[in-house]
Amino acid sequence: MDKIIITGGKRLSGTIPISGAKNSALTLLPCALLTDEPLTLRNLPRLADIDGFQHLLNQFGVSTTIAGNRPGDFGRVMTLEAPRITSSVAPYELVRKMRASILVLGPMLARMGEATVSLPGGCAIGNRPIDLHLKVLEALGAEIEMAAGYVRARAPDGGLPGGRYSFPVVSVGATENALMAAVLASGKSTLHNAAREPEIVDLCKLLVAMGAQIEGIGTSDITIHGVPRLHGATYRVMSDRIEAGSYACAAAITGGEITLQHAVIEEMEATVQALRDAGVTVEPVKEGIHVAADGPLRAVNLSTAPYPGFATDMQAQLMALLCRAEGTSVLNETIFENRYMHVPELGRMGANIETSGRTAIVQGVAQLTGAEVMATDLRASMSLVIAGLAAEGETQVHRLYHLDRGYERLEEKLALVGAQVERVGGD
């Protein structure tokens, strides 16, 4: 397995191109199932999870072609065509590797009138149930049954009628499945307390470009008027606000100054506010967002929350930054039950963090020291990289496959702004 070796202490400076958003791409890709016409997605990030989803779609009979682009480019153009669906089953061996596979349930049900998807199971950060996905699809008229670790959804003859559902908990994935099922329903559907993440807006904009009729985009009350069919489209995936926030923390912890090219400040206001509260200068510029940390870092108290609150996907990265702030920060992780696995690893680098349940108390320290550390999940591994960039000496981050799921060519991007990083294989 690969590892990354970071020699800390280099001040980051320059420009990092931000890639397409992983968490948008993973819900835009299954939209190919909703039409028999070609769907072309631009600015797709080169990530393991995207490759995995492409493979899953291929085994439904969806053809995928990658348009030529220069090897040095970040991102890819992919055209997906699904004139015929040859299977409506998402098997365990594919789903267990990538829980976002559950996002084929809604579109497959809408297209084929039935879908069978292996239960994704939990992951490192929590048991990740899918009860809300199933409840909202039932509300839209689907029959749901569970058997042998699979969920099987069926629409009545004539397709889903549509319906209304009020989410008891905000769920990004369940909102996405609901939207992709409702767009081809025979009637109207309304979703209350729907997720409002920018990735949901990106999905709605693609669906509208394909001919869907959706009102309330970007709000927690969405109305979808079902249409008989959707047509193909060409669409550019939004920039990755979590990748941008991660590199902002990387620059800040080194006292550096970088431009996050293609980042959109309006999509990451809570992250920007947290960085400003920590003493980091963050300003919109023509090509994206400019981040500079030339003074001492300050402690920050915050809780993660559904958008527009502070993103749970940014918690580990901000925590790494706060390890070097003056004072004590208190963080509350309200979304997932086990999202502090980076804490003991940061502790090995000299960080002073106490956790109790969903609360983490971070005492800033004067110096972090490089160490061998283990990535446990995607965002935790990025927090270790961020700490390593500021740590004295050498940090080795093992189990890099976690990082490759969500950060396109990380070591190349960090090298662009002066970091001393090296990827080595086979540890």
Minimum distance, C-beta of residue 230 to ligand EPZ, in the bound complex (Å): 22
Chain positions 72 to 101 lying near ligand EPZ, rule: CB under 6 A, are 100
**Three-point CA angle 7, 327, 290, nearest 5°:** 55
Catalytic (active site) residue 123: yes
User: Residues in contact with ligand EPZ, total (CB under 6 A)?
Assistant: 22
Of the candidate spans 127-135, 233-241, 247-255, 325-333, the one that interacts with ligand EPZ by CB under 6 A turns out to be: 127-135
Coil vs helix vs strand at 206 = helix
Coil vs helix vs strand at 329 = strand
Q: Which residue type is seen at 109?
A: L
Residue with tokens 């961020």: 386
Minimum distance, C-beta of residue 268 to ligand EPZ, in the bound complex (Å): 13
Minimum distance, C-beta of residue 290 to ligand EPZ, in the bound complex (Å): 25
Contact pattern for ligand EPZ over residues 390 through 419, marking x by CB under 6 A: ----------------x-------------
Give the other-Cβ count within 10 Å of 427's Cβ. 11
Contact pattern for ligand EPZ over residues 349 through 388, marking x by CB under 6 A: -----------------------------xx---------
Catalytic residue among 31, 123, 204, 249: 123
Strands (E), 52-107: 63-67, 76-81, 89-90
Residue environment code for 232-257, b if the CB has 16+ CB neighbours within 10 A, otherwise e? bbebbbbbbbbbbbbbbbbbbbbbbb
Could you say whether residue 133 binds ligand EPZ (CB under 6 A)?
yes
Our CB check for ligand EPZ shows the closer of 116 and 259 to be 116
Q: Which residue is nearest to ligand EPZ (CB)?
A: 173
Could you say whether residue 313 binds ligand EPZ (CB under 6 A)?
yes
Could you say whether residue 1 binds ligand EPZ (CB under 6 A)?
no
Minimum distance, C-beta of residue 128 to ligand EPZ, in the bound complex (Å): 5
Which ranges of 114-211 does DSSP label H, i.e. alpha helix? 131-139, 172-182, 198-209
Coil vs helix vs strand at 113 = coil
Could you say whether residue 104 binds ligand EPZ (CB under 6 A)?
no
Q: For the chain, count helices (H), then strands (E).
A: 14, 24
Pairwise CA distance, residues 49 & 99, whole Å: 10
Residue with tokens 């506010």: 273
Chain positions 141 to 170 lying near ligand EPZ, rule: CB under 6 A, are 169
Minimum distance, C-beta of residue 246 to ligand EPZ, in the bound complex (Å): 10
Closest CA to 119 of 151, 90, 167, 79: 151
User: Which residues are identified as catalytic?
Assistant: 123
Residue ranges binding ligand EPZ (CB under 6 A): 23, 26, 100, 126, 128-133, 169, 171-174, 312-313, 335-336, 378-379, 406
